[in-house]
């Protein structure tokens, strides 16, 4: 079965793609939606330009669609992208968002595509450990929740960070995987990457109570 991955460059979409490959599915392309609205409830927005490098690192073509603000625009972009993806199904990294899950499934049904969500309803307190165990190198690309300050921007996803996230889950209700929009991530390397992403220049940009780790320049590099 030929499948596409709905891909944001973050940990969940990358890990879902990895699971799909591990299950023997034929991952043939990545699909990235680039929303105009930075507060999109459906799509990840920080550092979407890096998805082109990630696609190169995987040796896969990247299909992109842009969209204006609003649900109709965002769903229309996904419909257009999947309609021209030439695949039998799509894999998504949804964990707990009914909003995203229902809408992607509806579009998949309309287009006759199977939708796979291998992370759906998994325990996030267990899942947070799986990204590192899978050999993924991840950094935090944005934060917007109490307990997550500017020091988290660009921070590596490791067991220390995971431990702190689980502590914030208990003390402040932060979702361990960021499903409430508390943070976003960027994958720099993974087992299915042929090359890794090297950040050449990036800077934290903090506004009020939230911040973004803005990648100004990045490139592909050989794996160690």
Q: Which residue has the tokens 């920080």?
A: 46
Q: For 2-116, CATH number? A: 3.40.50.620
| CATH 3.90.1490.10 placement within the chain | 124-221
Q: What tokens does 42 get? A: 């459906």
**Mapping DSSP to helix (H, G, I), strand (E, B) and coil, where does residue 110 land?**
helix
Q: Is beta strand 62-67 parallel, antiparallel or unpaired with respect to 26-35? A: parallel
Q: What pLDDT digit, counting tens, does each position of 148-179 carry?
A: 999 999 999 999 999 999 999 999 999 999 98
Whether this prediction's pTM lies above 0.85 is answered by: yes
Is the pLDDT assigned to residue 60 strictly greater than 90?
Answer: yes
101-116 burial string, b = 16+ CB within 10 Å, else e? bebbbebbeeeebebb
pLDDT, residue 108, reads 94
Which residue spans of the chain are classified as CATH 3.40.50.620? Answer: 2-116
Per DSSP, the chain holds a count of helices (H) and strands (E) of 6, 9
**Whole-angstrom Cα distance, residue 201 to residue 215?**
6
* Residue ranges with strand state E in the chain: 2-6, 26-35, 62-67, 89-91, 114-116, 137-143, 183-189, 196-207, 210-221
Percent of residues, the chain, with pLDDT higher than 70: 100
Confidence of residue 213 (pLDDT cuts 50, 70, 90): very high
Average per-residue pLDDT for the chain: 93
Angle between helices 11-22 and 124-133 (to 10 degrees): 70
| Architecture of the domain defined by 124-221 | Alpha-Beta Complex (3.90)
Q: How many residues does the chain have?
A: 224
Confidence of residue 40 (pLDDT cuts 50, 70, 90): confident
Report the pLDDT value the prediction gives residue 38, as an integer from 0 to 100: 77
State yes or no: pLDDT of 12 exceeds 80: yes
**Structure tokens that stand for 107 in this block:** 């579009």
H or E, element range at 136: none
pLDDT at 41 exceeding the cut of 80: no
Distances in Å between the Cα of 54 and the Cα atoms of 92, 113, 207, 209 are 16, 24, 28, 29
pLDDT > 80? residue 44: no
């Amino acid at each position: 079965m030929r499948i596409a991955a709905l891909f944001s460059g973050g940990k969940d979409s990358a890990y879902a793609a990895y699971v799909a490959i591990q299950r023997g599915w034929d991952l043939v392309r990545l699909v990235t939606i680039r929303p105009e609205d930075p507060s999109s409830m459906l799509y990840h927005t920080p550092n979407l330009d890096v998805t082109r490098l990630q696609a190169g690192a995987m040796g896969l073509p990247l299909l992109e669609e842009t969209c204006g603000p609003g649900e109709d625009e965002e769903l229309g972009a996904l419909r257009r992208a999947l309609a021209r993806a030439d695949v039998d199904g799509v894999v998504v990294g949804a964990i707990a968002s009914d909003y995203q899950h229902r809408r992607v499934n509806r579009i998949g049904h309309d287009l006759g595509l199977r939708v796979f969500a291998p992370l759906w309803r998994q325990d996030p307190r267990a899942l947070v450990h799986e990204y590192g165990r899978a050999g993924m190198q991840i950094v935090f690309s944005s934060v917007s929740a109490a307990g997550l300050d500017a020091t988290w921007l660009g921070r590596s996803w490791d067991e220390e960070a995971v431990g702190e996230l689980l502590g914030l889950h208990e003390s402040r209700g932060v979702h361990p995987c960021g499903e409430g929009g508390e943070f976003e991530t960027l994958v720099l390397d993974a087992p299915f990457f042929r090359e890794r992403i090297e950040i050449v220049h990036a800077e934290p940009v903090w506004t009020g109570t939230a911040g973004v780790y803005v990648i100004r320049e990045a490139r592909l590099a050989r794996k160690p």
